[in-house]
Structure 1
Amino acid sequence: PFIEQDKTDGTGSRFSASHTLEYSFSAFAAAQMAKSLGKMDDYEMFIKKSNGWRMLFNKESKLIHPKTTDGSFIGKFDPLQPWRGFQEGNAVQYTFYVPQNPAGLIAEIGKDEFNNRLDNIFLTAQKNGFGGGKEIDAFAGIKSNYNHGNQPNLHVSWLFNFSGKPWLTQKWTRAISNEFYGTENIHGYGYGQDEDQGQLGSWYVMASLGLFDVKGFTDLRPIIELGSPMFDKAEIHLGNQKKLTILTTNNSAENVYVQSATLNGKQLDNCWLYRDELMKGGKLQFVMGNQPNENWGIKNPPPSTQ
């Protein structure tokens, strides 16, 4: 539960909502490990805990909303206020922190509202450099509706793959790659950034290859989402004596949208693959264009495995 005091102990936490969301994801990861070991009682316990985010979901505002010790939503609630229920972020940012079950979150918000809200968030965030503008501070963007300069938001642009609009994942991951990051010293990872163990740089590497997983490979059978690769050719040595070559045709700064894709000559109808399929190596090929192909990648959304 939320407490006003700046502490975390058995009575609650000032960052209760963000802690609950993070613990829910951790419980999901533990559940997948338990299932892989055949410990189904442990799996059932942890998978139940992974749905802890639902306890804080406000069905009226459709936001994650901290609760007090008596189970009621806190008053004087400002969805953009950081440090009150949320560590290094706010309710607008953290509401999307359900990477273990995107389908569940989309269902709670409603698919159309989910897509419209998230797209509008990025339209607004783009005007501010996808973070805190040009303010030089690690926490510059924590009052914004989206903050690429800190970890809780880094998966959010990939959620359109789950909500039936993968072309928006392609659009926004490419825009963030081109506009948030830079090559000069002060803008290397964005003006307001909290690099933390190289995660912002790692995001750029994965996004520029057109590959990502919002769950960090914690699924029992992990997947790889497909985005908008920036290179004409990239080779990945997979560590198992195999190599994956990513190739693009008609790629450019304007041609950010996937028109079609194949893996070893086989047509891909989905915007994702199982990781073990990619680990076999071969050629992953994309044809790019300057307009969205709204018929590609929507046959089956990525699984929200529970």
Structure 2
Amino acid sequence: MIKPVSLLLLAAVLCGSCGSRTGRTAATSCDEPSARPSEYVSTLVGTHSDFTLSTGNTYPAVALPWGMNFWTPQTGEMGSRWAYTYGAHTIRGLKQTHQPSPWINDYGQFSIMPVRGRDKVDEESRQSWFSHQSEEARPYYYSVYLADHDIKAEIAPTERAAIMRFTFPESDESGVVIDAFDRGSYIRVMHDKRTVVGYTTRNSGDVPDNFKNWFIVRFDRKIRDFQIYDGTKPVEGEQLVGEHALVRVGFETRRGEQVTVRAASSFISQMQAVQNLEELGKDDFETVKAKAQAHWDEVLGRIEVEGGTTDQYRTFYSCLYRSTLFPRKFYEIDKNGNILHYSPYNGEVLPGYMYTDTGFWDTFRSLFPLLNLVYPSVNAEIQAGLANAYRESGFLPEWASPGHRGCMVGNNSASVVSDAILKGVTPEEDIATLYEAMLAGRRKVHPTVSSTGRLGHEYYNTLGYIPYDVGINENVARTLEYAYDDWCIAQVAKKLGKTNDAAMLEKASQNYKNLFDPETRLMRGRNADGTFQTPFSPYKWGDAFTEGNAWHYTWSVFHDVEGLIDLMGGRKGFTRMLDSVFVVPPVYDDSYYGFRIHEITEMQVADMGNYAHGNQPAQHMIYLYDYAGQPRKAQWWVREVMDRLYSAKPDGYCGDEDNGQTSAWYVFSALGFYPVCPGADEYAVGSPLFRKAVIHLENGNTIEIDAPENSSENRYVGKMAIDGKVSERPFLSYSTLLEGAKVRFEMEPEK
């Protein structure tokens, strides 16, 4: 599955084009990868972002795939949504983070910061200037030189723990600050004078009252002295339960002397945090780092690509890295090997799996289909966790972090759950519970989190749409997504032999037609009396739509593209409308928001008309050309988006990366196909980026994708053969690929 490490490293030396410290890219003519997959990844991609313009809104996560705890250098102030930004000049700590997005913010966070100086304690005084030239950001390793302290800081992860190595100058004022953050925290220096324990309660969303993240920090030598603080106020003693607990521990060091720190945490208890620390065992820093890299190589190496440029390899594997971070594990393993979790829904410690930190409005589209194809064993655990979420709260989550969060619209847990059941991924014992959960979600809304369940279900289930004039915002978006979600549930009903349910749900899945305006040939808000909203502007963002306009949301009929084609008067009219998205200028109406949201700016600067790839509703749109008999237009635009809107640089995305969704779009598209309709057996074909790709499936089969004539000019598919048989349609099936397949693309230039 993975090429021998020694050969890969030798190839890297011979090629000499890979492995820059900060992930800076440089084009190369090498046709074969010359490094291990993890070495192509820069975790800085997408970090050059802010409130007004997102180029990813990411942070450099030092973690294992789907790990419970991530670590990141912290440049922002405590509580800042932007924990790390590429343009910042100072670092305040190495922060344990669980943040899925700046818009959702963080929970269970604390930080560790090596310092020189007894007065360098609070985040302002302890921060240090740094440079990207002395920073290395990899999935399995992060290092940085803290100039103001003359200290090199390094970190390597396990799933729930991490090891840090601090190289100090000669000083009798060397130290480490452990900051449990404000809003209620606890610190205690243990009697062994090597160990600090505590908890943090800082969170940004709804959690049970007993929520805590218990942590343990253990040094490889005795602490010489320490001082505990409540904020900036020193306090006496060895422990503190206060508003903002932190401690500075001191050492006397020689120049070049290293202090090793081991840290772990638990949402269950202090004793479980100690248990989680055992993930490190007796391994030294280099061993932990090597094991973490090997783990990343195994996960990223499930897909091997060649016949591209180094820039393309870096972009591809950086995107695959982002696609394997979320949702994160929220379960732990006790001393007897039992799987258990603290429930972010009811506050109990319960057996079984739990995952969190994902928003299905984003990730149902391509992230979860990628898991089902390449990492189904991971999604099997996620699905078991979703069944537990329903048992513990009465709802499937739509945005979880760590419990139900109020964000976005739709009922797209139905898509995520259905696709896994239909692909044979879901554990058999959870299927009945999850089917019950999907049906229950059609008829209710969470009492305190209106984005969970179905807001407006009373109207949708009677009128067949949510009216524009009844006080429910984003009503067209909700209706379109509910209709698709009903189609997804219907497919599961058919599989389970629930014929009456299937018939009802199939009928409901046609509700999208109720909002199609034949005059404009766009989706449009409709009042309770059946009249369409007036005035109507197809350029108005928000209002009846979610972070988009009618040009974007009209295409959200994933499950019945042929039906949408018919509404638009056939393939010719459909294609003309689809072309128009790219032809009309990037004008907009932001009156609903009262200001220009960052998604609007990202559409404008992309220079693709009104196409807004930086936000999810438009991301499948290009592939709809396949359904209209115009696959070459899909191939043109897919390659344009990959070439122009993605890179492995700090500004490498064209909008929010969103927990793997925007990255998974690139991964699928680079392979040459895309899941337009999760829940279906079908992928639409685009334009493969590499001359060769191999996907190693968990069932032991492989998918081989060959496009030997591929180049920047040869972006068009002249012919596609599957296992030697020429296909007349620009589609692939999941079931065919799952059995192992050889897909050959004959690429050609425009004719």
TM > 0.5 between the two? Answer: yes
The Cα of 1:98 is off from its aligned counterpart by 0.5
Match of 2:509 in 1: 50
The partner residue of 1:210 within 664, 669, 672 is 672
Match of 2:743 in 1: 284
Match of 2:573 in 1: 113
Q: Is the 8 A contact 1:31 1:46 kept in 2?
A: yes
The partner residue of 2:481 within 16, 19, 22 is 22
Instruction: Name the SS for the 1:185 alignment partner.
Output: coil
**Amino acid of the residue matched to residue 211 of structure 1?**
F
Q: Is the 8 A contact 1:139 1:194 kept in 2?
A: no
User: C-alpha separation between the residues in 2 aligned to 1:231 and 1:40?
Assistant: 44
Match of 2:658 in 1: 196
* 1:100 aligns to 2:559 (yes or no): yes
User: 1:75-90 residue pairs with structure 2 within 5 A?
Assistant: 75-90=534-549
The Cα of 1:121 is off from its aligned counterpart by 2.0
User: C-alpha separation between the residues in 2 aligned to 1:117 and 1:51?
Assistant: 21
User: C-alpha separation between the residues in 2 aligned to 1:245 and 1:88?
Assistant: 38
- Show CA shifts across 1:187-206 (max 9, x none): x111xx12222100000000
The partner residue of 1:152 within 607, 613, 617 is 617
Q: Is the 8 A contact 1:264 1:282 kept in 2?
A: yes
The Cα of 1:167 is off from its aligned counterpart by 1.1
User: C-alpha separation between the residues in 1 aligned to 2:648 and 2:603?
Assistant: 23
Mean Cα displacement is larger for which, 95-104 or 173-182? 173-182
User: C-alpha separation between the residues in 1 aligned to 2:522 and 2:625?
Assistant: 18
User: C-alpha separation between the residues in 1 aligned to 2:705 and 2:478?
Assistant: 38
**Amino acid of the residue matched to residue 253 of structure 1?**
S
Q: Is the 8 A contact 1:82 1:142 kept in 2?
A: no
1:206–1:177 distance in 2 versus 1, CA, 3 Å: same
* 1:253 aligns to 2:712 (yes or no): yes
**Amino acid of the residue matched to residue 122 of structure 1?**
F
Mean Cα displacement is larger for which, 19-28 or 64-73? 64-73
**Amino acid of the residue matched to residue 624 of structure 2?**
L
Mean Cα displacement is larger for which, 44-53 or 273-282? 273-282
Gaps of 5+ in 2: 1-450, 459-469, 588-595
Instruction: Name the SS for the 1:55 alignment partner.
Output: helix
- Show CA shifts across 1:96-131 (max 9, x none): 110110000011112212112212323457x89xxx
The Cα of 1:60 is off from its aligned counterpart by 1.2
- Show CA shifts across 1:60-88 (max 9, x none): 11110101222211111111101111111
TM-score normalised by L of structure 1: 0.84
Match of 2:731 in 1: 272
Match of 2:627 in 1: 162
Pair member with larger Rg? 2
User: 1:225-244 residue pairs with structure 2 within 5 A?
Assistant: 225-244=684-703
**Amino acid of the residue matched to residue 750 of structure 2?**
Q
TM-score normalised by L of structure 2: 0.35
Match of 1:180 in 2: 645
User: C-alpha separation between the residues in 1 aligned to 2:650 and 2:471?
Assistant: 41
The Cα of 1:174 is off from its aligned counterpart by 0.9
- Show CA shifts across 1:214-246 (max 9, x none): 112x02xx1122211010111101211001111
The Cα of 1:181 is off from its aligned counterpart by 1.3
Q: Is the 8 A contact 2:480 2:557 kept in 1?
A: yes
1:253–1:17 distance in 2 versus 1, CA, 3 Å: same
Gaps of 5+ in 1: 1-6, 129-134, 293-306
- Show CA shifts across 1:235-282 (max 9, x none): 101211001111102110011100112122122221112211111113
Match of 2:55 in 1: none
The partner residue of 1:140 within 573, 576, 601 is 601
Q: Is the 8 A contact 2:522 2:550 kept in 1?
A: yes
Instruction: Name the SS for the 2:703 alignment partner.
Output: strand
User: 1:31-42 residue pairs with structure 2 within 5 A?
Assistant: 31-42=490-501
**Amino acid of the residue matched to residue 119 of structure 1?**
D
**Amino acid of the residue matched to residue 647 of structure 2?**
G
* 1:224 aligns to 2:686 (yes or no): no
The partner residue of 1:91 within 550, 575, 580 is 550
User: C-alpha separation between the residues in 2 aligned to 1:35 and 1:26?
Assistant: 14
Q: Is the 8 A contact 2:689 2:710 kept in 1?
A: yes
**Amino acid of the residue matched to residue 574 of structure 2?**
F
Instruction: Name the SS for the 2:707 alignment partner.
Output: strand
Instruction: Name the SS for the 1:21 alignment partner.
Output: helix
User: C-alpha separation between the residues in 2 aligned to 1:284 and 1:199?
Assistant: 25
Mean Cα displacement is larger for which, 276-285 or 95-104? 276-285
User: C-alpha separation between the residues in 1 aligned to 2:636 and 2:670?
Assistant: 12
Q: Is the 8 A contact 1:245 1:283 kept in 2?
A: yes
Q: Is the 8 A contact 2:709 2:746 kept in 1?
A: yes
User: 1:59-74 residue pairs with structure 2 within 5 A?
Assistant: 59-74=518-533
1:224–1:281 distance in 2 versus 1, CA, 3 Å: same
User: C-alpha separation between the residues in 1 aligned to 2:643 and 2:695?
Assistant: 22
Q: Is the 8 A contact 1:90 1:142 kept in 2?
A: no
Q: CA RMSD in A?
A: 2.2
The Cα of 1:136 is off from its aligned counterpart by 9.4
* 1:13 aligns to 2:468 (yes or no): no
1:73–1:181 distance in 2 versus 1, CA, 3 Å: same
The Cα of 1:26 is off from its aligned counterpart by 0.4
**Amino acid of the residue matched to residue 254 of structure 1?**
E
The Cα of 1:12 is off from its aligned counterpart by 4.6
User: C-alpha separation between the residues in 1 aligned to 2:722 and 2:516?
Assistant: 39
Instruction: Name the SS for the 1:273 alignment partner.
Output: strand
User: C-alpha separation between the residues in 1 aligned to 2:543 and 2:597?
Assistant: 23
Q: Is the 8 A contact 1:224 1:274 kept in 2?
A: yes
User: C-alpha separation between the residues in 1 aligned to 2:688 and 2:550?
Assistant: 31
Q: Is the 8 A contact 1:89 1:142 kept in 2?
A: no
* Structure number having the greater strand percentage: 2
The Cα of 1:142 is off from its aligned counterpart by 6.6
**Amino acid of the residue matched to residue 716 of structure 2?**
Y
Q: Is the 8 A contact 2:547 2:599 kept in 1?
A: no
Match of 1:131 in 2: none
Instruction: Name the SS for the 1:85 alignment partner.
Output: coil
Q: Is the 8 A contact 1:171 1:257 kept in 2?
A: yes
Q: Is the 8 A contact 2:490 2:505 kept in 1?
A: yes
User: C-alpha separation between the residues in 1 aligned to 2:705 and 2:573?
Assistant: 34
1:43–1:54 distance in 2 versus 1, CA, 3 Å: same
Q: Is the 8 A contact 1:88 1:142 kept in 2?
A: no
Q: Is the 8 A contact 2:486 2:505 kept in 1?
A: yes
